[in-house]
Structure 1
Amino acid sequence: MGAEEDGRRGQPRPRRRGQGELEAQVLSVLGEATEPVTAAWVQEHLDAGLSYSTVITILTRLLDKKAVTRSGSGRPVLWQSTASGAGLTAFRMRRLLDQRDDRDAVLSSFVSALSPHDEDLLRSLLGETGPGSTDEAER
């Protein structure tokens, strides 16, 4: 079987975007701005060919996640990034973790699946003397 068709004169269906992909693209564009910008500016700088209302929806979702700020009374409303793409991913990870009753099991499973490099990085970031850890001399 070939590619699925979407009913528009036999054209293949466009690829469905991954969850959070548009948010990451908008944050990336906002990260390039040297000052707060309008939604129209964001729309112009995206390669996604999105409608203005879609850009506003994405910006509003990012505002709810505290990944962007909105300023200006009346028009124009100006938008500015408060988080990088990495910050938004970290927010999503915390939100998913907060939704689970078995937080310890989730964290344990996550850490056990890390590559040695990522595990070393995590240890470095946490520091060996962080809360709940024992000092090397005590081991």
Structure 2
Amino acid sequence: MARRPLGQLEAEVLAALAGLGGTASTAELVARLDGDPAYTTVNTILHRLHEKKLVTRVRTGRYYRYRLAVDESELVAGRMHDHLRHASDPAGVLSRFARSLGAEEARKLREFLDPPKDGGG
């Protein structure tokens, strides 16, 4: 099995927490993640995310339950912006990204970029 970069696993853990919409234990998150990551690996990621103040945790018995502490869409958008800012060809990156979108994603992006005129402006 190929190993994924640590940043990718962090993003997957954050997405899994966001998808749950509440709290989750390490075991519950392991079950939701692809590739069968080790419990200890996910636990380490959660500890790091807690140190970065991206998740909160509450002790329940011997274990912690974690909750997303940030807005996921804001976090992901910020990462995308950082990647663009550091790219040597941001226009090329945007072009490739736009061409990789599915039909529904492309429709939504067009909607955000060119909102319908409501006649009140």
1:78 pairs with 2:65: yes
- 2:8 is matched with 21
| 1:1-139 equivalences in 2 (<5 Å) | 14-72=1-59, 74-83=61-70, 84=72, 87=75, 90=78, 110=86, 114-115=90-91
State the TM-score, normalized to the length of structure 2. Answer: 0.58
Letter in 1 for 2:53: K
Unaligned runs of 5+ in 2: 95-121
CA distance in 1, matches of 2:9, 2:18: 14
Tell me how far 1:88 sits from its aligned partner: 6.2
Unaligned runs of 5+ in 1: 1-13, 95-108, 119-139
Higher RCO, Cα 8 Å, sep 6+: 2
Give the number of the structure whose residues are more often helix, by fraction: 2
1:91-126 deviations in Å (ceiling 9; x for gaps): 7x88xxxxxxxxxxxxxx7498543xx7xxxxxxxx
The share of aligned pairs that are identical, in percent, is 32
Does the CA contact (< 8 Å) of 1:27 and 1:85 recur in 2?
no
Give the number of the structure whose residues are more often strand, by fraction: 2
State the TM-score, normalized to the length of structure 1. Answer: 0.51
Number of positions where the alignment pairs a residue of Structure 1 with one of Structure 2: 91
SS at match of 1:62: helix
CA gap of 1:114–1:54, structure 2 versus 1, over 3 A, is: same
